[in-house]
Structure 1
Amino acid sequence: REEIEDLLAKVKDKDYAIYKLKKETKTLRTIMKGYVVTIDSINTLNVGLRKENLEVKQTLNKERDRSKELQKNNENLSSKVAIASRLDVSGVSAFGVNVKRDMTGKETDRSRRTDKIRVCFSLNENKVAIAEKKNLYLRILAPDGKILTAGETENFKFEFNGLKGYYSDKEIVDYANEKVDVCLDWAKPSEDYEILPGKYMLFIYAEDYEMANISLTLK
């Protein structure tokens, strides 16, 4: 009888163990289902985040392209305004000047009689340009290839076309967007200075860009 009772007790213990295992298994299944739901939610969230991230990247790319296009348009507009605001000239003439004792001048085409080389022109109206004082320069290339200078120090140099060189004369004009007549002169530095016969090239600049050029031949 004791053996039977022992066996019954063991059976009860096993039944309880089985019950406990089943209960734990059920609990684990419930937990696993929760994990699966959580994982599904995370996956769904990740898909949404990836989609949102892609949309953000696409928006950023569009904004970058738009910004580049606007920058390009602004640069083109600035370039057009800069070109439109450049001054230009008309009625350009060049000649030699013989200075008399009474300091009056007479036009000449003879090199030995020339005391000055003069260029005259009209600075045209330009409503786009900034109304301000403008630096105008004359640069004369002599027949021997040398520049006729106003002086030989750095103070007589200016920047043009990305270079730096001597000018022959400089005039500051108070430009008010209206047409104005201007003359620039180069005077020989001394009485015994020899002005060569031949072809001279005269270049007219406003600030750092060339407005016009003209040739002059002295006999």
Structure 2
Amino acid sequence: MATNSPENRGNRKLLIGGLFVILVSINGILLYSNYQKKEKTEEQAEVIRIKNSELENQIKVYEALKSDFERQSQELQAMGLENDSLEARITVIMSDLNQLRGFRKSSFTLADQRKFRERADVFEKQLKVKDQEIARLKQENEVLFTENTTLKTTQNKLSDSLTTIKSTNQNLSEKVKLASRLEAQNIAVNIINQRGKDKDDKSNEFRARQVDKIRVAFRFGKNDVAPKEPKTVYMRLIEPDGAALYNLSTGSGSFQIEDKDMYYTAKRDFVFDNTQQEVSFVYDKDADYKKGEHIIELYADGFMIGSTTFVLK
């Protein structure tokens, strides 16, 4: 049986002290290990947070780049221009953006961050260059617009002037046309009997049974405006019933006056020489003439140049 000697009591104390030191050491080791794990976990969480932030920032950068390039494309289209290289850049940016959105937070490496940052820098430089080009094109378009507006104003003024000149010329032409209108003066109507003798009457009244042919003679009035040139004068012999004598076999036909067709009884071609020359018609109806008032109308250059009447009793 062991005795509780001073030596044994000392050994026990040493043992207990050693155990205490061991326990304290183990506890310290555990505390340090837990501290390291906590620190590593916090470090990993910080890395993930940084990666997540960087990924979100890159996505925002590429979304902004896409929006800016689309704006440039719209501005060019508004100016009537197309740029295939710009459309190609938008396609590349969309591809990069889809790739960024497909990354998991933990898989977005430093190499990825560097690559997309460098690509974004290149796109931003291209964006600035294109903005400068668009600004220059806008300025040039403004200059062209101003020049076109000035040119259009000048053209409108010229058009107005030409319209005025055209109107003035048309009025002058109408005045010249009216001034050059021929006039049949001293219109005389004679009858020719079956023996070929002329018979005139100042009253222009004749016996119908004596008429074989009708002679109409007149002189042109003096007209210094009318051009000296070949002309045609048309004669209409209108019977008492209001119808003009018309027979193709005797040279009748039609002519236009005021855009309307009108039948004539006979016509004569002549050269107007402004000498108050005389022109005459001899018309043979080759049938009995109707009794009553007859009308002679003379036309040239689209105008009636004279008229008279005679009566057959």
TM-score with structure 2 setting the length? 0.51
8 Å CA contact 2:215, 2:281 repeated in 1: yes
Give 1:182 deviation, angstroms. Answer: 2.2
Are positions 1:49 and 2:144 aligned together?
yes
For residue 115 of structure 1, report the CA deviation from its aligned partner: 1.7
SS at 2:254's partner residue?
A: strand
Q: Give how far 1:127 is off.
A: 2.0
Q: Is the 8 A contact 2:181 2:301 kept in 1?
A: no
Partner of 1:12: none
Gaps of 5+ in 2: 1-117, 119-123
CA contact (8 A) 1:147 1:168 kept: yes
1:98–1:56: structure 2 CA closer, same or farther, 3 Å change rule? closer
Look up the SS of the partner of 1:147 in the other structure.
Answer: coil
Q: Give the RMSD, CA atoms, in angstroms.
A: 3.2
* Letter of the 2:151 counterpart: V
Shift of 1:202: 0.9
Percent identity, please. Answer: 29
Aligned pair in 2 of structure 1 residues 34, 155: CA closer, same or farther (>3 Å)? same
CA distance in 1, matches of 2:145, 2:229: 58
Tell me, yes or no, if the aligned pair for 1:138 and 1:168 is still in contact at 8 Å.
yes
Pair 1:74 & 2:185 matched: no
Match of 2:193 in 1: 99
- Matching residue of 2:300: 206
Q: 2:233 aligns with which of 115, 122, 136?
A: 136
CA distance in 2, matches of 1:184, 1:39: 83
Q: 1:197 aligns with which of 281, 291, 297?
A: 291
1:129 aligned partner, one-letter code? A
Change (3 A) 1:155 1:53: same
Structure with the largest fraction of strand: 1
Instruction: Give, in whole Å, the separation in 1 of the partners of 2:269 and 2:194.
Output: 27
Q: Which has the higher contact order (CA 8 A, sep 6+)?
A: 1
Aligned length: 191
1:26-175 superposed matches below 5 A: 44-95=139-190, 97-99=191-193, 101=195, 103-107=196-200, 109-149=206-246, 151-152=247-248, 156-161=252-257, 162-175=259-272
Q: 1:39 to 1:153 in 2, by over 3 A?
A: same
1:8 corresponds to = none
| Counterparts in 2 of 1:62 and 1:159: CA distance versus 1, 3 Å | same
Q: CA deviation at 1:183?
A: 2.3
Determine the C-alpha separation between the residues in 2 that align with 1:144 and 1:89. 25
CA 56–200 in structure 1, closer or farther in 2 if over 3 Å, else same: same
Change (3 A) 1:38 1:155: same
Going from structure 1 to structure 2, the CA distance change for 1:196 and 1:40 (only over 3 Å counts) comes to: closer
What's 2:275 paired with?
178
Q: Do the aligned partners of residues 214 and 48 (structure 1) sit closer, same or farther apart at CA in structure 2, a change above 3 Å counting?
A: same
Matched letter for residue 124 of structure 1: G
Q: Which moved more, 1:62-71 or 1:45-54?
A: 45-54
Partner secondary structure for residue 217 of structure 1: strand
Contact 1:137–1:207 under 8 Å retained in 2: no
Distance verdict in 2 for CA 1:203–1:112, change over 3 Å: same
Q: Which amino acid counterpart does residue 104 of structure 1 have in structure 2? A: K
Q: Note if contact 1:160-1:209 (Cα within 8 Å) is conserved in structure 2.
A: no
Work out the CA distance in 2 between the residues paired with 1:167 and 1:187. Answer: 14
Relative to its length, the structure with more helix (as a share) is: 2
* Superposition deviation, residue 126 in structure 1: 1.6
Deviations along 1:14-34, one digit per CA (max 9) or x if unpaired, are xxxxxxxxxx9xxxx999998
TM-aligned CA deviation for residue 157 of structure 1: 0.6
1-side partners of 2:171 and 2:199: how far apart? 48
State the match for 1:19 in structure 2: none
What residue ranges of structure 1 are gaps of 5+ in the alignment? 1-23
The change in CA–CA distance for 1:39 and 1:78 in structure 2 (over 3 A counts) is: same
Once the two structures are TM-superposed, the CA of residue 144 in structure 1 deviates from its matched residue by 2.5
